[in-house]
Amino acid sequence: MAESPISNKVREMRFHSGEMTQQELAEIVGVTRQTIVAIEKQRYSPSLELAFRIARAFACGVEDVFRFEQDPDTTNGGTK
């Protein structure tokens, strides 16, 4: 299974937000704790809407929480 090209700092940001629990974040953004676990472990890429909700929970931008690591081989339409 290929690693997700989307990395995140959800776990790190929870701890910088007064040690927010996974359950607390899940309740704020309207998902299950298991969804937060899967996102933190990069087993699940959130929808754009959920990514915005998570960023809003930390009072920051989506780019501060999530990063898209593009494969260099696919940059510029597959040409190098």
DSSP string, 45-72: PPPHHHHHHHHHHTTS-HHHHEEE---G
pLDDT digits (tens, 9 = 90+) for 26-54: 999 999 999 999 999 999 999 999 999 99
Q: Does the pLDDT of residue 2 top 70, yes or no?
A: no
- Distance of alpha carbon 26 from the chain centroid: 13
Position 1 in a domain: no
Position 49 in a domain: yes
Position 21 in a domain: yes
Looking up residue 37, the CATH number of its domain turns out to be 1.10.260.40
Q: What pTM, to 2 d.p., does this model score?
A: 0.82
Phi, psi for residue 59 in degrees, rounded to 5: 55, 45
Position 72 in a domain: no
Domain count, the chain: 1
- CA dist 3 and 43 (Å) reads 8
Position 31 in a domain: yes
Position 71 in a domain: no
